[in-house]
Amino acid sequence: MRIVLILCSIIIASCSPLQEQTRSDKPNIIYILTDDQRYDELGILNPLLNTPNMDALANDGVHFKNAFVTTALCSPSRATILTGQYANTHGVVDNNAPIRDGTVFFPSYLQQAGYKTGFFGKWHMGAEGDQPQPGFDKWLSFEGQGHYYPDLPDGSIAQFNIDGEHVDQKGYITDELTDYAIDWLDGLNKQEPFFMYLSHKAVHALFLPAERYKDQYSDSQVNMPDNMANTEENYRGKPRWVRDARNGYHGVDFPYHANELSVAAYKMEYHRTLSAVDDSVGRVRAWLNENGLAENTIVMLMGDNGFLFGEHGMIDKRNAYEESMRVPLLATGPGFEGGKVVDQVVANLDIAPTILDLAGVSKPDHFQGDSFSKLPTDEDARTNWNNEFAYEYFWEYSFPQNPTTFAVRTDKYKLIQYHGIWDREELYDMETDTAEMNNLALDPAYEETVVALRKRIFALMGDANGRHIVPYTERKNGGNRWRGKNSEDGVKAGDFPPEWLKEGQPKQ
């Protein structure tokens, strides 16, 4: 690790793209990352939800309504956020692949620009553990997914790694991460710029709400999607693997191989678990107001990927449908005022260049995304914005039912390809078919569109060395750690509480 740190320091020193700027001109930046929060898991889009603080972010600032991730999976998405690169370039292609030696995360550039930096929460990047990472002056993380509550089934206590030392978790994780984050803010020199990365465990399965929210929405009902039913209409034109998936591990017929799980009850716990995150957003913004820093601080909230609850007969993510790859993105602060809505397509690939741009740091040449900082205020920037990105998901031996998937999403179309299986492509008009029900790929009228979009997938994904596909990367720590303490899901049929099961539940 020491050699890697030295290499990172050399790389940063040799290619640091800093611009001259006085400290007093630099905004503070807070980036809040949630886990598995789909794009419509906001009160402004879902009337069932009570998320006043997230709604206030949108009402006070900017709602990027077409925000996406380039891989709908925890580790690759998080690596893309931190590197500004596609997964096939940075190499964290799944939840087991390690970070490549010499990788530079964008907070290292912020340090070079005079920012104090702090990381609080879920790291979960490939095979890496909870150890401090380059780019952060303050560090708090935990192994794998972490735990909502500190008391574990084996009688032990969950732990945090704070600057290289392990300490016991004391309370509900969303609240405690916020406590630590605010304590760090309290200790800063308020005249110096800071960057805080608050990375919540929530709302990852298994969903466990804070005690104060365990009965929230008890008088409400979750409406399940129309395209959940096993009908010919819902699967007309769909690839065979999609229909087959409904009775697999991530399907609605036997979700997590628990045939009595109610997807509606499961989603209600997801809603409840989000509420403590909303409290966290409110606490952070209250601290800024109390300390006179709100006007010079940008607060940005985003999800690391979405989550399906019955759409196309599936749950989870890992596919290129909207509910899997589309996420919330809200921002407020200098340049993000006024309750605006931005329609342009942006992605997690664009986070690193945007935050560096806001800090007055030029984009490194190896970044593959672009800054969207001017989209809310500059008509020319909106007109000239490239509304397309590539999507990639690489087959995992832990979840073999999901094929390698490449796609391209523009403001008009989405083309999806599957590799390693004999199955059809999918083409959707995203302006008229938001539920992705009418596959146009075999319509002769769209042949030229399909051919053009096929080319765009690989043109967008390719890195400087021409690599497009990373079929296998050596795994650390014994390879497949599925269902271990660093697992992605770790969900078993017996894990579900009785109230989540279908028996005795009201009809959804």
Instruction: Give the count of domains, the chain.
Output: 1
pLDDT at 507 over 50: no
Q: Is residue 248, in this structure, part of any structural domain at all?
A: yes
Domain that holds residue 256: 24-386
Residue 108 is part of a domain; what is its CATH number?
3.40.720.10
- Looking at this protein, which amino acid is placed at residue 299? V
Task: Tell me how far apart the alpha carbons of residues 495 and 246 are, in angstroms, rounded to a whole number.
Answer: 20
- Cis peptide bond prior to 203, omega within 30° of 0: yes
Q: Which residue has the tokens 């959804």?
A: 508
Residues forming a β-bridge with 327: 67
Q: Is residue 11, in this structure, part of any structural domain at all?
A: no
Q: Is residue 417, in this structure, part of any structural domain at all?
A: no
Q: Average pLDDT for residues 403-424, to the nearest whole number?
A: 94
Strands 62-68 and 329-332: antiparallel
Q: Is residue 96, in this structure, part of any structural domain at all?
A: yes
Q: Which residues contact 37 (CB under 8 A, 6 or more apart)?
A: 203, 274, 277, 303, 304, 306, 307, 327, 328
**Of 250-259, 276-285, 480-489, minimum mean pLDDT range:** 480-489
Q: Average pLDDT for residues 309-322, to the nearest whole number?
A: 97
Dihedral (CA of 146, 65, 44, 54) sign: positive
Hey, what are 255's tokens? Answer: 């979700």
- Find the distance separating the first CA and the last CA of the chain, reported in whole Å: 51
Task: Tell me how far apart the alpha carbons of residues 107 and 103 are, in angstroms, rounded to a whole number.
Answer: 12
Task: Tell me how far apart the alpha carbons of residues 395 and 420 are, in angstroms, rounded to a whole number.
Answer: 9
Q: Is residue 478, in this structure, part of any structural domain at all?
A: no
Task: Tell me how far apart the alpha carbons of residues 454 and 103 are, in angstroms, rounded to a whole number.
Answer: 30
pLDDT at 198 over 80: yes
* 67 in Cβ contact with 452 (< 8 Å): no
pLDDT single digits (tens) 483-496: 333 344 556 656 77
Contacts 24+ apart (CB under 8 A), 183-190: 184/118, 184/120, 184/138, 185/287, 185/291, 188/116, 189/116, 190/291, 190/293
Angle between helices 351-358 and 74-83 (to 10 degrees): 30
Q: Is residue 500, in this structure, part of any structural domain at all?
A: no
Hey, what are 51's tokens? Answer: 């998320």
pLDDT at 481 over 80: no
Hey, what are 121's tokens? Answer: 């929460």
The percentage of residues in the chain with a pLDDT greater than 90, rounded to a whole number, is 80
Q: Which residues contact 393 (CB under 8 A, 6 or more apart)?
A: 71, 72, 73, 318, 319, 320, 402, 404, 405, 406
Helix or strand run (H / E) with residue 481: none
Q: Is residue 135, in this structure, part of any structural domain at all?
A: yes
Task: Tell me how far apart the alpha carbons of residues 32 and 21 are, in angstroms, rounded to a whole number.
Answer: 25
Task: Tell me how far apart the alpha carbons of residues 43 and 459 are, in angstroms, rounded to a whole number.
Answer: 37
pLDDT single digits (tens) 51-81: 999 999 999 999 999 999 999 999 999 999 9
Task: Tell me how far apart the alpha carbons of residues 72 and 80 are, in angstroms, rounded to a whole number.
Answer: 11
* 340 in Cβ contact with 376 (< 8 Å): yes
Dihedral (CA of 474, 477, 480, 482) sign: negative
pLDDT band for position 16 (cuts 50, 70, 90): very low
Hey, what are 234's tokens? Answer: 């819902």
Hey, what are 122's tokens? Answer: 């879920």
pLDDT single digits (tens) 100-155: 888 999 999 999 999 999 999 999 987 788 999 999 999 999 999 999 999 999 99
Q: Average pLDDT for residues 222-248, to the nearest whole number?
A: 95
Q: Which residue has the tokens 């979750």?
A: 222
Q: Which residues contact 239 (CB under 8 A, 6 or more apart)?
A: 418, 423, 424, 426
- Cis peptide bond prior to 206, omega within 30° of 0: yes
Q: Average pLDDT for residues 4-20, to the nearest whole number?
A: 44
pLDDT single digits (tens) 340-395: 999 999 999 999 999 999 999 999 999 999 999 999 999 999 999 999 999 999 99
- Residue 455, Cβ neighbours under 10 Å: how many? 10
pLDDT band for position 24 (cuts 50, 70, 90): low
- Residue 470, Cβ neighbours under 10 Å: how many? 17
Q: Count Cβ atoms within 10 A of the Cβ of residue 502 and give its class: 0-12 exposed, 13-18 middle, 19 or more buried.
A: middle
* 81 in Cβ contact with 351 (< 8 Å): yes
Q: Is residue 337, in this structure, part of any structural domain at all?
A: yes
Per-residue pLDDT at 497: 74
DSSP state of 350: G
The percentage of residues in the chain with a pLDDT greater than 70, rounded to a whole number, is 87
pLDDT at 18 over 50: no
Which H, E and C letters describe 131-159, residue by residue? CCCCCCCEEEECCCCCCCCCECCCCCECE
Task: Tell me how far apart the alpha carbons of residues 244 and 401 are, in angstroms, rounded to a whole number.
Answer: 9
